Each structure stands twice: as structure tokens, then as C-alpha cells.
Amino acid sequence: MKTKANSRNQNATSPRRKRARVGSMRLLGVVLATLNEAYKSDAAAIHALICNRVPCNKKLANHPTVQVELNTVASGKSYAVGMLGVLNGVVERMTGERVAASFREPNADGKCKLPGFVRYTPNGDLSHGASPLARRNG
């Protein structure tokens, strides 16, 4: 007799779930490739889009997948969202994964370099110099 627990365990490794996972990883790969190609085409434009934030309301700040941050420029408690936060809202909903802007440590002039985009890994090893730009709203 199948129990719900057994059924769930079998479904977790079913061919259908494996195909969905492969499809999600392919989609994430396409997103990363597109972001990196765009960055190589016009680094200044993509860097500006990644770094810029616009004010947003609390309803967007409470969205389950769009990443926002506290707006430190405005007085009072307000929120801001950037291109990567919105893009990650879509990517996470479709794949369960997120992307991150990869920044290197500041050079002698104090400037950080954005070499490209990577798969976001929470609490992951950042020894390669990558750090997530967008954070999850808590």
C-alpha cells in the first residue's frame, strides 16, 4: 500500500521531476549567458542597471520572490528595488534559483569590478570574489 510519504519520495526522483530540474537549470543557464553577453556588450550600461535602485512600496517589498532592500537614502522606513531584484523574482519563480552579480574586491583605487553574473548560492563560498548584490527581503 502506498502512503503519502512513499508517494512523495518516489515523485522526488521521478523522470518528470528530473526533466523539470534539467529544464530549470537550462533556463538559469540561458539567463546567466544573456546577462553576461549583455555585460560584455556594454559593461557601463549593465553596471548602472545593476547598481541603480528605485523607491518601491511595501506591497512590492513583501512580494514572495522579488528581492528588495531597505532604502537607506530616504528618511523613515522605505524600500528600493533594482533590475536584478525584479529579474530574480521571475527567475526564482520559474527555476527555484537566483542569479547574483559577481563583484571582485576593490582595487588600489577603491573601485570594485563587476566581472559578470553567477548562480546565487546562499551562504556559499565567496572566495572567488562574488557576492550577491540583491538580498532577499525578510
Q: What are the sequence ranges of the domains in the chain? A: 4-119
More confident residue, 73 or 28: 28
Task: Assign 17 a pLDDT band (cuts: 50, 70, 90).
Answer: low
Task: Assign 133 a pLDDT band (cuts: 50, 70, 90).
Answer: very low
Helical residues (DSSP H) of 15-130, grouped into ranges = 15-41, 43-51, 58-61, 83-95
Q: Give the pLDDT score at 9.
A: 47
pTM, two decimals, is 0.66
The mean pLDDT of 53-82, rounded to a whole number, is: 90
Q: Give the pLDDT score at 8.
A: 44
Q: 129: number of CA atoms within 13 Å, CB side?
A: 11
- C-alpha 67/C-alpha 78 separation (Å) is 14
The mean pLDDT of 97-117, rounded to a whole number, is: 80
Q: Give the pLDDT score at 3.
A: 43
